[in-house]
């Protein structure tokens, strides 16, 4: 057992041995007040201080969510609570001595699911191996975190579509005020996340109130373009209220609606959304043009907001493989090429006439004619992940902070290799969990430990000093040559990988 003394009150955690190193672990610390009762659908408030010693030896609950289908391999249904979900976990090599870099993790899950206590996000291995303080954060999800009620409920609900992001800002404020008690440096905080977690990081880069709350950012398979207009968000809200059995005149009843009823309507909306998209269904997203997010994040970044933040940004080679392999066309459904055209038009912003050009560019990259599956997988990877990442790096051209790019290409042996370097495969490498049973579905026990050591070390060195260091290899800043680290069993740096595809999207945008 070990105690720490943040400003909110004394907490008691546990001491565990990880990789022959002692790590102190504090779980389920509240960083904000309960978002319930009169606080439902409202911005977070700081956690109230407590008297005595708070037991922080067990994880806190996740935010309310429906079970994932299919569930992640080895993942039990998450325990959730609307009352106590705004909590965080901390792993630290020590609570005294020289202040250590702090890495604050934002979990993914399409803004619908996930938890800071999922096994893959256990920060013990990363903290032990790199000497950093690792923090993992819960935030409100789905309708409770992103439902745009401003038009129907008025004053006090202007930012209801951005509550999940405001939760993260409150967590960062808590870290600034309290992390020194856990051995962390409040002036050296890196915010990092994957998928929706990385999208949250990218969006926070464009939120004025985030300025000064983190010094560096790492985005794994994320984008600064995952948002809606207030008008589109209002349309989604009207549809959601209808699924709750409410209309505009009765919208206020949602404030007291049982959370289970909200989750039921949420799942119905997810299924509707999934039926009309061949990429990732995202019924709930932040809204730009709101008090906390006045401009689209990419525009704000291009205008110089958070220019001093160092950024490490990348994607996996085969981000779309899960969507392709887990949802094969049924009789009568559009085939793979038609699905690819729909994704490129609806998500990638390419006109239908560009589909043939995309296929030709992909053929140049692959040096072979792509199959229908390859065409759809690449279309999802480019439209949803890779090209938005390229646009964010371009938007940061001339920034005061440094920018680094990567492409993760190690291929999973799962499903006969069909998944490739799939979405989320990078997570166990960063957190040093490639040998765990939970990672086995994707790694099959064949993940190179050297790649995990290299990635966790690069992430930590970036958090420490703003420069990711790889063994035996210089990782240049992203600039006119678009230098990109290729993360695989053999590490290398390549200028402008998959250039033909990037140029096609760039030309179509003009």
Residues annotated as catalytic are: 195, 319, 423
CB burial class (10 A; 0-12, 13-18, 19+) of residue 19?
exposed
Please give the full DSSP string across 164-204, using - where no structure is assigned.
HHHHHHHHHHHHHHHGGGGTEEEEEEEEEEETHHHHHHHHH
Distances (CA, A) of 15 to 1, 8, 25, 31, 307: 6, 21, 6, 22, 39
CA distance 155 to 147: 15
Beta-sheet pairing, 87-92 with 21-30: antiparallel
User: CA separation (Å) from 472 to 54, 80, 426, 478?
Assistant: 45, 44, 21, 19
Backbone φ and ψ for 148, nearest 5 degrees, come out as: -85, 95
The position carrying tokens 């989604």 is 236
Name the 3-class secondary structure at 485.
Answer: strand
Those residues with Cβ within 8 angstroms of residue 83's Cβ, 6 or more apart along the chain or in another chain: 34, 36
- 324, 386, 509 from 349: Cα distances, Å: 20, 13, 8
CA–CA distance from 170 to each of 44, 123, 344 (Å)?
A: 7, 21, 36
Distances (CA, A) of 8 to 89, 112, 134, 206: 15, 29, 19, 29
């Amino acid at each position: 057992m070990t105690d720490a003394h943040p400003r909110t009150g004394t907490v008691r955690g546990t001491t565990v041995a990880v990789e022959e190193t002692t790590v102190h672990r504090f779980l389920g610390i509240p960083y904000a007040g309960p978002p319930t009762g009169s606080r439902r659908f409202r911005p977070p408030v700081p956690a109230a201080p407590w008297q005595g010693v708070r037991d922080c030896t067990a994880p806190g609950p996740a935010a309310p969510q429906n079970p994932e289908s299919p569930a992640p391999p080895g993942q039990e249904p998450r325990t959730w609570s609307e009352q106590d979900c705004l909590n965080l976990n901390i792993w630290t090599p020590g609570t005294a001595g020289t202040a250590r870099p702090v890495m604050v993790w934002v979990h993914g899950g399409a803004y619908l699911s996930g938890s800071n206590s999922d096994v893959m996000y256990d920060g013990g291995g990363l903290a032990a191996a790199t000497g950093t303080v690792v923090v993992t954060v819960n935030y409100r999800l789905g309708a409770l975190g992103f439902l745009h009620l401003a038009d129907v409920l008025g004053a006090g609900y202007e930012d209801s579509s951005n509550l999940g992001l405001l939760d993260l800002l409150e967590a960062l404020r808590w870290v600034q005020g309290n992390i020194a008690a856990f051995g962390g440096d409040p002036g050296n905080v890196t915010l990092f996340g994957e998928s929706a977690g990385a999208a949250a990081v990218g969006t926070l880069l464009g939120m004025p109130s985030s300025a000064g709350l983190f010094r560096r950012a790492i985005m794994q398979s994320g984008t600064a373009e995952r948002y809606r207009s207030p008008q589109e968000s209002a349309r989604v809200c009207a549809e959601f209220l209808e699924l709750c059995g409410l209309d505009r005149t009765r919208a206020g009843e949602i404030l007291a609606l049982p959370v289970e009823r909200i989750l039921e309507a949420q799942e119905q909306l997810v299924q509707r959304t999934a039926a009309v998209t061949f990429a990732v269904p995202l019924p709930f997203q932040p809204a730009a043009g709101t008090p906390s997010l006045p401009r689209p994040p990419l525009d704000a970044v291009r205008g110089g907001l958070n220019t001093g933040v160092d950024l490490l940004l990348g994607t996996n080679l085969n981000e779309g493989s899960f969507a392709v392999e887990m949802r094969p066309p049924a009789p009568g459904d559009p085939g793979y090429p038609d699905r690819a055209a729909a994704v490129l038009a609806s998500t990638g912003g390419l006109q239908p006439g560009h589909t043939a050009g995309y296929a030709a560019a992909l053929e140049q990259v692959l040096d072979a004619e792509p199959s229908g599956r390859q065409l759809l997988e690449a279309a999802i990877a480019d439209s949803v992940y890779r090209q938005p990442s390229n646009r964010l790096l371009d938007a940061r051209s001339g920034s005061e902070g440094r920018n680094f790019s990567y492409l993760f290409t190690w291929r999973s042996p799962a499903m006969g290799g069909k998944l490739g370097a799939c979405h989320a495969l990078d997570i166990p490498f960063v957190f040093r969990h490639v040998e765990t049973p939970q990672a086995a579905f994707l790694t099959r026990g064949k993940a190179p430990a050297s790649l995990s050591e290299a990635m966790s070390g690069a992430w930590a060195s970036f958090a420490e000093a703003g420069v990711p260091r790889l063994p035996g290899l210089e990782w240049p800043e992203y600039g006119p040559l678009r230098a990109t680290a290729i993360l695989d069993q053999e590490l290398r740096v390549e200028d402008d990988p998959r250039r033909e595809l990037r140029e096609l999207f760039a030309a179509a945008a003009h």
